[in-house]
Amino acid sequence: MDKNSIEFQELEELRGQVSLLKEKLMRQQIISERAIIEAAQKGIGKLNKTGKMWGAFGIFAVVYCTVIFHRFGFSDAFVAFTGVFLLICAGVTIYAHWGISSIDVSRGNLVDIAQRLIRFRKIYSRYHLFSVPVLLVWCYFLYYDAQHMLENAESFLVAGVVGGLIGGVIGLKAHFKVIRDTDNVIANINDLMKQEQE
């Protein structure tokens, strides 16, 4: 076998090895993309499940709280204020989750999906700028009404504050979990976009 034949054979072997390496890398990238897509879709599914749960709870709270406060004899203005406030809370939750309910990561436009998730996150983040001050105003009127109805309004207020703190801790914990889960999904989408650009 002459020198040219040996060199040609070595070159063909090298080409074969490079081709196998490329194939292996492509397979690894496809597996990696699938894992990221599954993680992102699972995260979105989790967010949607949370949204349905809180939306249903919000609608229940509208009916339950307005009926209970009315039966306890609170003023019509307070009962109406409570109902409207809870309805807005439930509405914002349902509206925020509505924007991400139809996302399919494997078939969708990744830029559009990322924008929808960022919008969803903004709604959740800004929502507290409205809800916390209104809740404080609501607490004032709760105490104001209770003072005119009850002999020992201070005890009622203490019980209300304790209940409010427990509810606030649960609500904030749930809120920050949604933000954290959304950030994880956005990170997955960004990873997918980077892989597509490579």
Cα separation, 11 vs 104, in Å, equals: 45
pLDDT score recorded for residue 7: 61
72: its two tokens: 């306890």
Q: What is the pLDDT of residue 6?
A: 62
Q: For residue 171, what pLDDT is reported?
A: 80
pLDDT of residue 24: 61
Q: For the chain (length 198 residues), average pLDDT per consecutive 10? A: 62 62 59 73 88 89 90 88 90 88 79 86 85 84 79 72 79 86 86 70
| Sequence-separated contacts (24+) of 58-62 with Cβ below 8 Å | 58/86, 58/87, 58/89, 58/90, 58/91, 58/93, 58/94, 59/90, 61/86, 61/89, 61/90, 62/86, 62/87, 62/90
Start-to-end C-alpha separation, the chain: 42
Instruction: Give the integer Cα–Cα distance in Å for 24 and 18.
Output: 10
SS3 104: coil
Kindly give the residue spans of alpha helices, DSSP state H, lying in 73-152.
76-98, 110-149
What's the CA gap between 106 and 36, in Å, rounded? 10
Sequence spans of domains, the chain: 3-50+100-197
Q: What is the pLDDT of residue 32?
A: 61
- Report the pLDDT value the prediction gives residue 87, as an integer from 0 to 100: 92
Q: What's residue 2's pLDDT?
A: 61
Specify the pLDDT at position 22. Answer: 65
